Amino acid sequence: MNDQSQALPTATPFPCSSAFATGFCQLLGGKPSYGIEFLQSGCLDNSLHSMTANSQPLTCSTTPLSGGGTKYQCTFPGMAQGIKVDLSYCHSVDIPNVQTTCPSGYQFDQETKLCKTENSKLPSPPCLQGYQDITPYGCLPLYDTDNNTCPVGYYSIATSTASVCMPINRCLLSSETDACKNTNCSSGQKFDTQKNCCISSDSPKKICPSDLIYDADQNVCIEPNLFVEKCLTTTTNIPLCPTLTPSPAPTKEPQGKSCSDYKDGYECIKNGCNWAEGFFFCTNP
């Protein structure tokens, strides 16, 4: 059997969403205030850096968001209303150090920094607690009736005295010699003479300690990459600010007199009435 189980890693990385970036323009005290705003929420201690707009470095102020995360309000040289802006920024996440532990049935290999199946020989009779002497194999682990399972790399068998766990790699039996080669493989596997074990037709999958994932390119366990892309680019626009439009002057209502009281065209129009040219009288508007 593989010394690397095909089980999934003990921890699966979760993706962080990219920041929401947009341009803004508003009137503050009658004067335009505009710039670029980034909203980045959640995902541990997530912060942004190396932020640029049109290849110019951004100068930003930060404000914590109520639900977690940060709001960045930024400016840059050459910024103006109504322009298109090409943005770039990078993520930075602080991941706490964790204790490296392996799943049940695996042991941590200091050399490879991977979790490997426990390949130690089974004990010889007299058997320790948790084992049963089964002739002619020697001491076998008792079947875990509480969890209805055997250790990784074992399968259950029922004997006349107890249910026990048999290793798939028979070379782990105390009755086998050190020269043993487990050439009898399970269905879908074949014996690899170089690795001296059974392997599957597909590539073996690595098992990493908790909160780490396997990087096939580097052949090591690394901290999870929380971002599909750590540095991103996007495009936005800085809008035009709203303008202050003066309110129209109200029509001046006649004071104390009705329009028909005015006999002079100038006084008629001055007081908001209509002067009938050619008829020489004042009417209501």
Over residues 235-266, the pLDDT tens digits come to 999 998 887 555 555 555 545 678 888 777 66
Segment 199-211, tens digit of pLDDT: 665 555 566 665 6
Q: Residue 135 pLDDT more than 60?
A: yes
Q: How many angstroms separate the CA atoms of 268 and 250, rounded? A: 17
Locate 66 and state its tokens. 């109520």
Segment 48-74, tens digit of pLDDT: 888 999 999 999 999 888 777 788 999
- Between 106 and 55, the more confident residue is 55
Q: Residue 12 pLDDT more than 50?
A: no
Residues 6+ apart with CB under 8 A from 10: 102, 103, 115, 207, 208, 209, 210, 211
Residue 13 binned pLDDT confidence (cut-offs 50, 70, 90):
very low
Mean pLDDT, all residues of the chain: 75
Q: How many angstroms separate the CA atoms of 162 and 140, rounded? A: 10
Beta bridge partners of 173: none
Beta-sheet strands, E only, within the chain? 20-28, 31-40, 45-53, 56-57, 59-64, 70-75, 84-94, 106-109, 114-117, 131-134, 138-141, 154-158, 163-167, 189-192, 197-200, 213-215, 220-222, 231-237, 274-276, 281-283
Residue-level pLDDT at 8: 30
Segment 163-202, tens digit of pLDDT: 999 987 788 888 887 667 656 666 666 766 666 666 665 5
55: left (phi over 0), alpha (psi -120 to 50) or beta: left
Residue-level pLDDT at 56: 92
Residue 86 binned pLDDT confidence (cut-offs 50, 70, 90):
very high
Residue-level pLDDT at 213: 66
Give CA angle at 274 (251, 282), nearest 5°. Answer: 125
Q: How many angstroms separate the CA atoms of 5 and 106, rounded? A: 9
Residues 6+ apart with CB under 8 A from 227: 15, 16, 18, 91, 93
Residue-level pLDDT at 108: 73
Q: How far is CA 98 from CA 11, 135, 210, 211, 223, in A?
A: 12, 44, 8, 7, 10
Domains of the chain: 20-96+226-237 (2.60.40), 106-214 (no CATH), 252-285 (no CATH)
Burial zone of 118 (CB within 10 Å; 0-12 exposed, 13-18 middle, 19+ buried): middle
